[in-house]
């Protein structure tokens, strides 16, 4: 079955003439709707062989219906989505079943007649989710289930409030989050400056790949590698032993644990068929780490214990949902799993992880607003723990309550920024998993010698690598909106220092300075081109070089450098050693990543993506 879902401001149709002999005899020959989710449907051969296909199609339709906050669903037979159509009687039967399924789930539904030539008029909304497609294959991996959930806001007093009547005074970011998540308010037409900045630094969609896959030009590569290395430094500094591993990116769905975890995960997944196997591309590091941990011989003395990988991860996001740097089909997830003896220990460790999540946001000048997804049972038993998280966050949180037993976690916290166009963007996360240790047969031996299954914390302290970078560029966009110079933190800047000799006579001195600076692992280059000083300074500004070092007659004579600092706009004169000391102080606690280009600008071709920064 193939679906094309259009969120329409208005839609109307009139049946004009019978198209086939097996037309549907009905009095529903015309209709007019507003704020409607129009679901164009092609029923395909084999759809009637899978008894779950109608339910799974309804799951997908309701998922979109709730996200776009439409008032009505219109099922519209549309043969043009497929060349493998079922026979007419089967199509009418399945379309009728789909209509009834949606009605039984409490949605307002109508259905246009099958087998007629119809004239229709459509006005589509312009938001990112207004045009989506879905393919529901017979016998494929189960998709996300539509579950009932309840929304609250937890105040700093630990009480639960109705989101519609809560007083958001002083907490504008919480109000924006609630409007989006609960009341489905969309920012139509707003474009993210952060994604524009990322594109200009060489984070780009790869047109030769599947939609939603990125490529990383030289500037982007340096940034990506710096953040990847830093993600390891962050987890390594936690007060628990952490092991770093590497693994494969696809797993066999014939393995019971892999299939069950994939079904529970709930996102759209990439599947690959190879010979007699159906494989799923991993959506985080879970499968690989769990497959290793089940073979480890663990004692209670070893716990808590962490396992970490920057995992290439794949999620089959729809085209209308893709956002460069934020929502992609392939991304890099710095995934940490922490094994704990029991739920009490997991909650204690989670509070320490929460502190580090907040600290890393604060370092780049941001703070988070939280969505706390929690099961009924956990909230009832551990409400004080949830309230403590809210108290430590220092602001109210959106609480989403789920029935018990739906997912493998009991609490799942999503930390969002509100970006420069007013959209919540999830960056960091942690969750407490009480199901996968048993599912993957991960065990430890307790004090009495009995085998037990640990509780597992899943966390990405920085968020995905690309989303963290999105946050850095969104912070730069916020500076720009305030009339300030946008910049990146020194440790992640693709070019940290550029040396500009005023004339060719000063190149030898520039080389000596370069050797001193680069010996400390600082990303440094030399503009040795036969260009004017003004053009060299302009080009360094285009590339957001953190420190520009100008060397001329005076600097050669005095053994100094004239330094322009991008973040402050100040110009100062330093002894070379003193400047190096300042840079090293600023880089303390951060990784050193090599320059991703030749050190001489004369050896570089024109880089097209940088033109957009001019």
Question: CA–CA separation, 67 vs 69, rounded Å?
Answer: 6
Q: Quick check: 4 and 133 in contact, CB under 8 A?
A: yes
Q: What is the tens place of the pLDDT at every residue in 172-184?
A: 999 999 999 999 8
CA nearest to 267, candidates 280, 277, 278: 280
Please indicate, yes or no, whether residues 69 and 198 belong to a single structural domain of this protein: no
Residue 503 belongs to some domain of the structure:
yes
Confidence of residue 262 (pLDDT cuts 50, 70, 90): confident
Q: What is the tens place of the pLDDT at every residue in 97-130?
A: 999 999 999 999 999 999 999 999 999 998 878 8
Question: CA–CA separation, 10 vs 120, rounded Å?
Answer: 11
Terminal Cα distance for the chain, rounded: 48
Residue 528 belongs to some domain of the structure:
yes
Order of strands across the sheet that contains 571-575 = 524-526, 497-501, 547-551, 560-565, 571-575
Check whether 574 has a pLDDT greater than 60. Answer: yes
CA nearest to 513, candidates 546, 469, 482, 550: 550
Please indicate, yes or no, whether residues 496 and 544 belong to a single structural domain of this protein: yes
Residue 142 belongs to some domain of the structure:
no
Residue 462 belongs to some domain of the structure:
yes
Please indicate, yes or no, whether residues 314 and 193 belong to a single structural domain of this protein: yes
Q: Work out the mean pLDDT of the chain and round it to a whole number.
A: 93
Check whether 139 has a pLDDT greater than 90. Answer: no
Instruction: Report the range out of 16-20, 323-327, 598-602, 608-612 with the highest average pLDDT.
Output: 598-602
Domain count, the chain: 3
Any idea what the CATH number is for the domain that residue 500 is in? 3.40.50.800
Confidence of residue 185 (pLDDT cuts 50, 70, 90): confident
Check whether 37 has a pLDDT greater than 90. Answer: yes
Peptide bond into 304 cis (omega under 30): yes
Q: What angle do CA 330, 592, 351 make, to 5 degrees?
A: 65
Q: What angle do CA 418, 419, 423 make, to 5 degrees?
A: 70
Residue 224 belongs to some domain of the structure:
yes
Q: Do the strands 305-314 and 277-281 form a parallel or antiparallel pair, or are they unpaired?
A: unpaired
Question: CA–CA separation, 565 vs 96, rounded Å?
Answer: 67
Question: CA–CA separation, 561 vs 559, rounded Å?
Answer: 7
Check whether 366 has a pLDDT greater than 70. Answer: yes
| Stretch among 144-153, 464-473, 528-537, 595-604 having the lowest mean pLDDT | 144-153
Check whether 142 has a pLDDT greater than 60. Answer: no
Q: What angle do CA 203, 205, 210 make, to 5 degrees?
A: 145
Question: CA–CA separation, 356 vs 350, rounded Å?
Answer: 10
Residue 440 belongs to some domain of the structure:
yes
Please indicate, yes or no, whether residues 181 and 237 belong to a single structural domain of this protein: yes
Check whether 45 has a pLDDT greater than 90. Answer: no
Report the 10 Å Cβ neighbour count for 538. Answer: 12
Check whether 533 has a pLDDT greater than 60. Answer: yes
> Which domain range does residue 216 map to?
150-473
Please indicate, yes or no, whether residues 431 and 302 belong to a single structural domain of this protein: yes
Q: What is the tens place of the pLDDT at every residue in 510-524?
A: 999 999 999 999 999
Question: CA–CA separation, 422 vs 418, rounded Å?
Answer: 6
At 189 the pLDDT is: 57
Please indicate, yes or no, whether residues 105 and 181 belong to a single structural domain of this protein: no
Question: CA–CA separation, 458 vs 335, rounded Å?
Answer: 7
Strand-pairing partners, residue 551, are: 501
Residue 143 belongs to some domain of the structure:
no
CA nearest to 180, candidates 128, 227, 224: 128
At 48 the pLDDT is: 85
Any idea what the CATH number is for the domain that residue 43 is in? 3.50.80.10
At 84 the pLDDT is: 86
At 275 the pLDDT is: 77
Q: Using the 3D structure, point to which of 135, 158, 182 is the last residue of a domain.
A: 135
Q: Quick check: 572 and 563 in contact, CB under 8 A?
A: yes
Please indicate, yes or no, whether residues 83 and 118 belong to a single structural domain of this protein: yes
- For the chain, the helix, strand and coil percentages under 3-state DSSP, each to the nearest 5: 35, 30, 35
Rounded to whole angstroms, what are the CA distances from 309 to 191, 231, 338, 410? 32, 10, 12, 23
Q: Do the strands 397-402 and 150-154 form a parallel or antiparallel pair, or are they unpaired?
A: antiparallel
| Stretch among 17-31, 213-227, 340-354 having the lowest mean pLDDT | 17-31
Question: CA–CA separation, 610 vs 614, rounded Å?
Answer: 7
Q: Using the 3D structure, point to which of 84, 102, 135 is the last residue of a domain.
A: 135
Report the 10 Å Cβ neighbour count for 318. Answer: 19
CA nearest to 475, candidates 365, 397, 552, 582: 365
CA nearest to 526, candidates 495, 557, 555, 505: 495
**What number is the average pLDDT over the span 141-146?**
52
Please indicate, yes or no, whether residues 131 and 158 belong to a single structural domain of this protein: no
The DSSP letter of residue 69 is T
Q: Using the 3D structure, point to which of 439, 473, 507 is the last residue of a domain.
A: 473
Confidence of residue 266 (pLDDT cuts 50, 70, 90): low
Check whether 542 has a pLDDT greater than 60. Answer: yes
Q: Do the strands 524-526 and 497-501 form a parallel or antiparallel pair, or are they unpaired?
A: parallel
Residue 594 belongs to some domain of the structure:
yes
Please indicate, yes or no, whether residues 448 and 494 belong to a single structural domain of this protein: no
Q: Quick check: 565 and 547 in contact, CB under 8 A?
A: yes
Any idea what the CATH number is for the domain that residue 190 is in? 3.30.930.10
Question: CA–CA separation, 63 vs 199, rounded Å?
Answer: 30
Check whether 143 has a pLDDT greater than 60. Answer: no
Please indicate, yes or no, whether residues 212 and 353 belong to a single structural domain of this protein: yes
Please indicate, yes or no, whether residues 262 and 411 belong to a single structural domain of this protein: yes
298 exposure class (CB count in 10 Å sphere: 0-12, 13-18, 19+): middle
Check whether 146 has a pLDDT greater than 70. Answer: no
* DSSP class per residue in 208-268: TSSTT-EEE-HHHHHHHHHHHHHHHHHHHTSSS-EEE----SEEETTSHHHHHHHHHH-S-
Ramachandran angles phi, psi of 452, nearest 5°: -135, 160
At 141 the pLDDT is: 53
Please indicate, yes or no, whether residues 457 and 552 belong to a single structural domain of this protein: no
């Amino acid at each position: 079955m193939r679906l094309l879902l259009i969120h329409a401001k208005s839609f109307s149709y009139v049946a004009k003439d019978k198209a086939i002999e097996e037309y549907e005899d009905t009095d529903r020959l015309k209709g007019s709707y507003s704020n409607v989710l129009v679901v164009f449907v092609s029923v395909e051969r084999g759809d009637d062989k899978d008894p779950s296909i109608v339910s799974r199609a309804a799951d997908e339709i309701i998922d979109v219906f709730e996200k776009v906050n439409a008032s009505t669903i219109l099922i519209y037979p549309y043969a043009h989505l497929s060349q493998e159509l079922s026979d007419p009687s089967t199509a009418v039967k399945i379309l009728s079943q789909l209509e009834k399924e949606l009605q039984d789930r409490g949605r307002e539904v109508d259905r246009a007649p099958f087998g007629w030539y119809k004239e229709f008029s459509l006005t589509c909304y312009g938001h990112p989710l207004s045009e989506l497609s879905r393919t529901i294959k017979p016998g494929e991996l189960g998709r996300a289930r539509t579950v009932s959930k309840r929304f609250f806001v937890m105040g700093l007093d630990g009480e639960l409030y109705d989101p519609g009547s809560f007083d958001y005074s002083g907490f504008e970011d919480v109000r924006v989050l609630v409007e989006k998540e609960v009341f489905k308010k969309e920012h139509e037409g707003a474009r993210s400056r952060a994604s524009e900045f990322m594109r200009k630094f060489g984070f780009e969609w790869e047109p030769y790949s599947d939609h939603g896959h990125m490529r990383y030009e030289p500037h982007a590569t340096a940034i990506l590698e710096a953040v990847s290395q830093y993600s390891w430094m962050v987890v390594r500094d936690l007060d628990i032993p952490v092991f770093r591993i590497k693994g494969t990116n696809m797993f066999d769905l014939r393995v019971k644990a892999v299939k069950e975890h994939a079904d529970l995960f709930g996102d759209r997944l990439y599947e690959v068929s190879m010979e007699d196997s159906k494989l799923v591309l991993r959506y985080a590091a879970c499968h690989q780490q769990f497959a290793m941990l089940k073979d480890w011989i663990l004692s209670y003395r070893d716990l808590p214990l962490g396992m970490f990988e920057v995992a290439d991860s794949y999620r089959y996001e729809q085209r209308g949902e893709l956002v460069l740097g934020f929502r992609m089909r392939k991304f890099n997830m710095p995934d940490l799993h922490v094994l704990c003896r029991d739920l009490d220990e997991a909650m204690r460790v989670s509070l320490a992880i929460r502190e580090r999540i907040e600290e890393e946001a604060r370092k780049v000048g941001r703070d988070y607003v939280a969505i706390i997804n929690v099961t009924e049972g956990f909230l009832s038993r551990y409400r004080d723990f949830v309230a403590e998280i809210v108290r430590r966050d220092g602001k109210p949180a959106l609480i989403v309550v789920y029935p018990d037993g739906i997912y493998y976690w009991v609490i799942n916290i999503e930390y969002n920024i509100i970006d420069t166009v007013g959209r919540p963007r999830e960056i960091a996360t942690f969750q407490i998993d009480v199901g996968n240790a048993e599912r993957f047969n991960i065990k430890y031996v307790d004090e009495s010698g009995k085998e037990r299954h640990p509780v597992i914390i899943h966390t990405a302290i920085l968020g995905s690598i690309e989303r963290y970078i999105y946050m850095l560029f969104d912070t730069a966009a916020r500076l720009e909106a305030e009339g300030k110079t946008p910049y990146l933190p020194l440790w992640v800047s693709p070019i940290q220092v550029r040396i500009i000799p005023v004339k060719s006579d000063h190149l030898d001195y520039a080389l000596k300075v370069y050797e001193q600076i680069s010996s400390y692992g600082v990303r440094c280059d030399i503009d040795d081109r036969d260009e004017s000083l003004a053009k060299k300074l302009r080009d360094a500004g285009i590339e957001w070089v953190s420190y520009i070092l100008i060397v001329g007659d005076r600097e050669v004579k005095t053994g100094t450098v004239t330094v322009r600092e991008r973040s402050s706009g100040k110009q100062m004169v330093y002894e070379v050693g003193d400047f190096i000391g300042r840079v090293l102080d600023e880089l303390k606690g951060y990784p050193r990543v090599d320059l991703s280009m030749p050190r001489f600008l004369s050896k570089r071709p024109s880089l097209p993506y940088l033109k957009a920064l001019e």
